[in-house]
Amino acid sequence: DTIYRIEDNNFLKPISEDRKFRFIKLKNNIECFLISDSQSQESAAALSVGIGSSMDPKSIPGLAHFLEHILFLGTDKFPDENQYFRYLVEHGGYSNAETYDDQAIYYFSVEPTYLEGALERFSEFFKSPRFNESCLDRELNAIDNEFKLRLNSDIWRIEQVQRYLSNSTHVYNKFIVGNKETLEINPKLMGINVRDELIRFYTNYYSSNIMKLAIIGNESLSKLEDIVIKYFSDIKDKNIKFININETNPLNTLIGYLLRIKSINNQTTLSIIFPITYQIPLNEYDPSHYISEMLNSKTEDSLFEYLKSKRWINKLIVNCSSYKSGFSYLSIDTNLTNESKDNLIPIINAIFYTVKLLKESRLDINFFKQLQQITDIDFKYSSQKSTISLIHDIVYYSQYYQCKPEEILKVNYLLKEMKINYIKEILDLLEPNNMFIILSQPNFDSLKYNQIFNNEVILNNTKYNEGINEEQYEVFLKEKYFGTEYNLQEIPKYFINKLHHINSSVILDGMDIKLPSDNKYIPTDFTIYYPIIKQQKYPMNLFNSLQEFVKYNRIKIFNSQHEYNDLDVTDKVPDILKSIYYIPVHNIPIPKSLINIRLIFPNINNIKDIISDVPYEFINNLSEYKIVILTQLLSLSLEYSLNILLNSSKGISETIESFNSLFSYNYNGTPYGMEINICGFSNEVPPKLYKFAYYLNYPSKFINRCFNQSYSHLIKSLNDEILRLEPYQQSLTFAFEIFTKEYITPNKLLEELNNVKYQDIIHFSKIISNYSKLEGIIIGNYTPRYSITIIKKFLEIIGNIDESNQIPDMNFISDINLLKYREKQNLDELSNNTLLNKSGQIKENMNTNQITNISANIHMENHLLNYNLLNNTNVKDIFISTKISNSKLPNFVNMYEMLDIYSLSGEYKDSYYFNKCTNPEDVNSAVTLILPIPEYTEINKSLLDLVHILFNEKFFSDLRTKQQLGYIVNSSPGEFGNIILYYLFTIQSSQYDVKYITERILDFYENKFNIHNIDIESFELARKSII
């Protein structure tokens, strides 16, 4: 039944990957990856078909995407259109699908016990789908709603303009999403039956020989192989061979042009794009990686740091993109600041100057070897992927790269050899006469063509100044499908010629840009300390973890005054050792760790009584709004200041993930404060934490360099949050504000930001560093002893030392010596009454305490009925965000006005809140029904999860699949700031007004959202899936 196989021992795997793999090729040529994981609580499968939107007929754009939607709605063996989805939901699973240019991926997850049943249903879609006529209109509406959702995405809008202007004979020149116009209206006018075309597309292209399958389950590899053969070996092999690589790059039509595009969001971006040779076949050498890393460097003298120091950009990304249809391009993308308006030419000059430096320098073999080293480290110590991510990535990359099956896990980490000729081939194409520029901006009036190519380039050069008519450069067209406004003009030849001869003197103040060389932050210490750390099921505070560590290793702790034989010093334990938690991760044997620390701001009501070294006027003017905005500004300033340090180690899984000012509130409304997460290789994380602490305690050394940048960035972010949230997201924001009362809106923060001064940040930083309470967690490859050492040093640097967090000096055998000792000795053979002192000598052992785990069994069915969560909430709240005008609405509706004007049925009236959508160009409206739950308890949280399993599919199936009210149709549990639990129903739609959507949601709530409508079998399945 199989014609080829590769066993587990041949697969290249990271250290963390303990799952068993097998590759088989069935007789019908389906390539299958089988993964056995006996410990997984989730099974999953994914199947990729090597056919995508690039094969859409010219007359029916979006057909492949339409097929993705319609395929899973009934088969000959399982004709009920919801049978597959219902089976998955009832057994704790879900499904999804995606269509790309060159493939379509279908995948699902399910509880392990029910994998075979799910695979039986899943496989039938690739044998006998029904293409029910009754489903076509509904799914067509879903496609159209999905399209309208993407109308507000600049990524999609820019991509579509680029496609629209590409070579019209190339398959890249397509509208791949589809909408009602392309899938219904136009085909009807042309006499085309779309259902017949769907069947034809499926029949012609859905063949087993271009399918890749990945399955993960609890079963053995042999059992999984039997299941695959049973259900997938009879899929038809049509011997499809349609791969036809077009050697012409479709983007060549844009070379030499400036393409200006009107953006939806309030961000201006500049992209310089170079069509290059096809790169996918060169993946194992990845020549573009060397070039990208050279240009993308964030070190002190890099292109990025130069442009950022000028306050012209806040982001730079160099990336290579490739399409299976046979072309690639390298793009240099930047996010521009407001200060860049009059400096586009200097920015472009700096980019081409850096490219010229790279082209003229000798290829750095040592730099490439470091890239190899980093890539190998990243792969070897990469974290284990989730089940869905694993199977999805396997089928995607197997289809994309056509790599060796045994290399599938490493396919994105291949850098086998420095192929100088391939690198030079790309470098030779990074020329001014082989590029085009895309400028995306929200307002064309702010940056016109003649403003971009300024006086120096055009207007003072009589050859180009004569006959210039500004109006001819400001004519804008609209892309056919998204309606995106764009303008396409040739880049002046004078300017292109100037770029050919770029040098440092061209820049107004000269420039000091250098290419990167040695990376000093490559990890070298990969010691694993788990052998000397006792396993923990749950996090414990550092003091308790230290006790267990000492007992487990039979050692004594000393300081200058005491010998703690039994660590019975509870009355002397500093509070900090109780508020920082710790847990090792034994099941992931990689030398990585995570440190999370929260600096909790003092209670605003008591702050005047505890702080004496900060000006009274500043403290007296502190409000919750000001605390939040100052935390945001301080966080951004710290982030900018640490960029050089952090980005020096970019690419080796060593980053500060976030500085967050937390927008959640405790019960008295006091903001929590600032949070820092640092994760990466264990030996590199503490230095980053200490650097953060130093900057926090000495803010004047860095804030003056980045205050203005942080201030501008925050203004932009808050405006974007106000204007660009989806309507359904806005409705949740309104709800949060009403329910919590303490929620601080972006509008309020913007008002407060106007009153913030530079000196405020200095004062605020002192309060955060010296007066905050600390809490956090340390996870990974540290011992409790070393974790305490890290926290102790952090406190010393930030100057936050008082009686409550004074950690005594504790000296005993070092972790590395202890590890060596444990490797030499089998401690299980030692007497139970022995321990080690700091010299490694054996002493009498202390007594150990046993820890008893207590579990409780909750009868959820009785709780659902007793608590009556579904229909006994005190209030139903509807939050509506809309652009749609209504003759019954006044011209201006105050925020949260009661919607009696809608005249909804009397029994539906509880609380109806209305707010106009903040984005005037958004065609969508949203309605959210929120059911607050009486008490915030862990039991209620579990019950809400149970409710979700029982009703989510029913809500989606009724209001999305059948009624087609919108693309976003969702129900889910949630909570507001650890205060209020809720269950919500939300719909976003571009077709129906909010009155109709509201009535449909309430109809479901009144008539179908009831525990008595659930049979015992469904209830038990849902309960078991939670357990």
Would you list the domain boundaries of the chain?
A: 2-232, 250-363+418-503, 541-700+759-801, 860-1026
Is the pLDDT score of 49 beyond 60? Answer: yes
Tell me how far apart the alpha carbons of residues 153 and 157 are, in angstroms, rounded to a whole number: 6
The one-character DSSP state at 445 is: G
Q: What is the pLDDT of residues 847-887, one digit of tens each?
A: 222 222 222 222 333 333 333 444 444 445 555 555 443 33
Average pLDDT, the chain: 80
Is the pLDDT score of 727 beyond 70? Answer: yes
Average of pLDDT values for 766-778?
87
- Backbone φ and ψ for 555, nearest 5 degrees, come out as -125, 165
Tell me how far apart the alpha carbons of residues 688 and 669 are, in angstroms, rounded to a whole number: 32
Half-sphere exposure of 711 (CA within 13 A, CB side): 15
Residue whose pair of structure tokens reads 């006018």 in the numeric block: 189
Q: What is the pLDDT of residues 580-613, one digit of tens each?
A: 999 988 777 788 899 988 888 887 777 777 787 8
Rg (CA), the chain: 31
Q: How far is CA 972 from the centre of its chain?
A: 20
Higher-confidence position of 374 and 452: 374
Residue whose pair of structure tokens reads 């009696």 in the numeric block: 900
Give me the amino acid identity at 326: G
Cβ(904)–Cβ(912) below 8 Å = yes
Tell me how far apart the alpha carbons of residues 366 and 687 are, in angstroms, rounded to a whole number: 26
903-908-914-919 Cα dihedral, nearest 10 degrees = -100
Q: How sure is the predictor about 842, in pLDDT bands with cuts at 50, 70 and 90?
A: very low
Name every residue whose Cβ is closer than 8 Å to that of residue 935 and which is 6 or more positions away in sequence: 981
User: What pLDDT is recorded for position 82?
Assistant: 87
Name every residue whose Cβ is closer than 8 Å to that of residue 426 and which is 6 or more positions away in sequence: 276, 277, 287, 288, 291, 330
Tokens linked to 147: 């399209």
Task: Give the residue from 51, 95, 326 showing the smallest Cα distance to 212.
Answer: 51
Q: Exposed, middle or buried: residue 1018 (CB in 10 Å: 0-12, 13-18, 19+)?
A: middle
Cβ(601)–Cβ(627) below 8 Å = yes
Give me the amino acid identity at 782: Y
Cβ(101)–Cβ(172) below 8 Å = yes
Tell me how far apart the alpha carbons of residues 290 and 367 are, in angstroms, rounded to a whole number: 8
Average of pLDDT values for 89-98?
91
Average of pLDDT values for 794-802?
81
Residues across the chain? 1027
Architecture of domain 860-1026: 2-Layer Sandwich (3.30)
Average of pLDDT values for 948-974?
84
Name every residue whose Cβ is closer than 8 Å to that of residue 805 and which is 6 or more positions away in sequence: 574, 575, 576, 774, 795
User: What pLDDT is recorded for position 743?
Assistant: 59
Tokens linked to 809: 């000096």
- Backbone φ and ψ for 290, nearest 5 degrees, come out as -60, -45
Q: What is the pLDDT of residues 226-285, one digit of tens each?
A: 999 999 999 999 998 865 566 789 999 999 999 999 998 888 999 999 999 999 999 999
Q: How sure is the predictor about 478, in pLDDT bands with cuts at 50, 70 and 90?
A: very high
CA distances from 139 to 72, 108, 136, 143, 893 (A): 11, 19, 5, 6, 35
Average the pLDDT over each of 23-32, 33-42, 636-645, 805-814 and give the range with the smallest value.
Answer: 805-814
Neighbours of 909 (CB within 10 A): 15
User: What pLDDT is recorded for position 668?
Assistant: 29
Two domains, one topology: 250-363+418-503 and 860-1026: yes
CA distances from 97 to 100, 368, 392 (A): 10, 38, 10
- What CATH superfamily classification does 2-232 receive? Metalloenzyme, LuxS/M16 peptidase-like (3.30.830.10)
User: What pLDDT is recorded for position 70?
Assistant: 93
Residue spans of beta strands (DSSP E) within 535-617: 540-541, 557-558, 563-564, 580-583, 592-600
User: What pLDDT is recorded for position 459?
Assistant: 39
Percent of the chain with pLDDT over 70: 77
Q: How many helices (H) and strands (E) does the chain have?
A: 35, 30
Pick the CATH number of 541-700+759-801 from 3.10.129.10, 3.30.70.580, 3.30.830.10, 2.60.120.460: 3.30.830.10
31-36 and 211-217: which strand pairing? parallel
Q: What is the pLDDT of residues 193-230, one digit of tens each?
A: 999 999 999 999 999 999 999 999 999 999 999 999 99
Is the pLDDT score of 314 beyond 50? Answer: yes
Helical ranges in 727-773 per DSSP H: 727-740, 746-753, 758-771
- What CATH superfamily classification does 250-363+418-503 receive? Metalloenzyme, LuxS/M16 peptidase-like (3.30.830.10)
Average of pLDDT values for 710-715?
80
Percent of the chain with pLDDT over 90: 37
